[in-house]
Structure 1
Amino acid sequence: MTDALRLLSDDATGLGRPGSSSLPPATSSHKDKLLNEMDWMQLEAALAKGSSRYDEALLTYFRAACAAGLRPCEWAKARLDWQGTRHVLVVRNAKGTNGRSHGPYRRLVWDEEDDIEHIQAWLSYVSRVLSGTTGGERLEVWTTYRRALQDRLRAVCDHLWPRRKSHLVLYSARHTFTARIKAVNGTREVAALLGHAVDDTATHHYARASKGSRRPPNLGSLPRAHIRDVQRVRVTTDKAAIPERSRSALQVP
């Protein structure tokens, strides 16, 4: 039995809630797509003192995913490389077929290590969960583990905000990352960082960064896209230019 299946032997929900089989499916209308700063403070505190073995994993996941923007399913095939003076997270695009992505892979580049520790920590979780798995079993184990994390997150959110109709999901971290990068980048680089084929996809499907109480938490430095990934993005808007501040930093071998 793998580490993941041993982890999943415990109830993921906790907090006096029934097991995951009783939780209703999260439809789009019931998903809170953006994690704001105030909610993050409450969620972070709850997970930090939580009793479930999933709480530390969820805390690490959100810190890493809000800094990297990967789809939850993409972490299983991601790797962190050291290239010269930069850390490069190599991601296999989940939607790499039928022209939905700019290519089979995307590369996220950091000059600083502010977020790298969280990403390294989360990748360590992923490695332990998938230890000893191969082929189809690997996908099955990762899918099961993600569902367990989502069930636990739902239970924590219900406990924190019992009157809310919409709740955070694992994918909320990607939306939060997107809001952050859209505030400082052109649409072409945003698309490259997200793995999109066209520069206006994020404009239609992801919210902009909000101000005040709805602004996303600042979880460290944001990555830059690899220049070759940026060049593969198809341009359809007039906001696709790479910002001057990023142009030189994008020159990654």
Structure 2
Amino acid sequence: MTTKKTEFEYTKLAEFFYQRLENRAIPLTAKNISNELLACAPDYRPGYWRRLRCALAYHQNMLGYVDAAERIRRAKNPVTAHGSNLSKKSRQPRVRAINQADEDVLKSYFNQRGDISMVSAILIFKNAGIRPAELSGLRVDGNRLIVTGAKKSHGGQRGADRTLLLDGIDSSLLRYCVMQAQRVDIGVMQDRLRAAGKKLWPRRRALPTFYSWRHQLGSELKGAGIDRLRIAYIMGHQATGSVDRYGNRKLARGGRLPSCPADADLSGIRITHSQLSADNTHYIKPESPVINKANDTSVRNRGMAAVIFRRKNESSDNDLS
């Protein structure tokens, strides 16, 4: 079931694609749309191509062309097809940390252009470390940011909803930033961030993305000594094993961090995604056999660290900085 926002985005995406055919004087028929969709597959990353296919199928169905919609829906990406020799478009290189200087340059760049939505988005990604796809579903309740988890799969066992407690941040400012950031489609903002990065740092191969702040928050949480269970909750993981993919404690800059509310439910977070619990409700890690640490240098301490929340009493505590 598509939301009004998704319907609007799908319509824009489909109409933009139709313009591609019209510019070449190609009639808008079901066959031509399907053929062009297949032909353009090498130009796009597989994830975007799937979204484009969904948008075209939805729009054709909305216009009443049910057969055309079904034909488009059945189209298979020739790039990812078994035995394909077509090369898959590589992902954009991601910066897995972002320093304060680059962050300030970006905020200044968008402030000078009056782009409040972009400045607000940067501040939200910095303070909450959400995934880009989670921005549109954010809700604010006082100084609590309620996040509807993205990247859900495995029957809901991957990806997690969570509530982040943002102490020291004015609730009206938080609400304003969320409202401003949600005014613009996340895909458009990602394009703006990429374009700004190319203009500001033309010689860099890897440029900041919204995921850069997510990785940076992972570094900050680890650097603050917060235990893996709470890091997993804050980052929206359902397994602590995913914590290793985000951040490096050596890259932590210090500062204010989101925390888990006292009523946060951490019971569903497991260690790995590989084994279901006895009641088939969530995955758990089987008990490991006792290993003689003296004879096995690969043993790592898997115990939970003490919860340490780094609080800095700065004069700017009421600002999203």
- The TM tier, using the shorter chain, reads 0.5 to 0.7
Supply the AA of the counterpart residue of 1:108.
L
Name stretches of at least 5 consecutive residues in structure 2 with no aligned partner. 13-42, 46-88, 272-284, 286-300, 311-321
In structure 2, the partner of 1:197 is 238
Choose 1 or 2 for highest CA Rg. 2
Other structure's SS at 1:230 match: coil
In structure 2, the partner of 1:94 is 150
In structure 2, the partner of 1:158 is 198
In structure 1, the partner of 2:208 is 168
Other structure's SS at 1:108 match: strand
Q: Are the equivalent residues in 2 in contact too, given 1:107–1:229 (CA < 8 A)?
A: no
- 1:221 and 2:274 aligned: no
The partner residue of 1:243 within 278, 303, 307 is: 307
TM-score (norm 2): 0.54
Compute the displacement of 1:239 (Å). 4.5
TM-score (norm 1): 0.66
Tell me the number of residue pairs that the alignment of Structure 1 and Structure 2 aligns: 199
Supply the AA of the counterpart residue of 1:171.
Y
The partner residue of 1:45 within 95, 108, 125 is: 108
For residues 66-215 of structure 1, the aligned pairs below 5 Å read 66-82=126-142, 87-98=143-154, 99-101=157-159, 103=160, 105-113=161-169, 116=171, 119-126=174-181, 128-129=183-184, 145-184=185-224, 185-203=226-244, 205-211=245-251
- Higher strand fraction (1 or 2): 1
Q: Are the equivalent residues in 2 in contact too, given 1:74–1:92 (CA < 8 A)?
A: yes
CA RMSD of aligned residues (A): 3.2
Supply the AA of the counterpart residue of 1:229.
D
Q: Which has the higher contact order (CA 8 A, sep 6+)?
A: 1
Pair 1:208–1:79, CA change in 2 (3 A)? same
Supply the AA of the counterpart residue of 1:49.
Q
Q: Distance in 2 between matches of 1:174 and 1:95?
A: 14
Name stretches of at least 5 consecutive residues in structure 1 with no aligned partner. 9-22, 130-144, 247-253
In structure 1, the partner of 2:267 is 231
Q: Are the equivalent residues in 1 in contact too, given 2:116–2:180 (CA < 8 A)?
A: no
Other structure's SS at 1:31 match: coil
Supply the AA of the counterpart residue of 2:205.
K
Pair 1:154–1:111, CA change in 2 (3 A)? closer
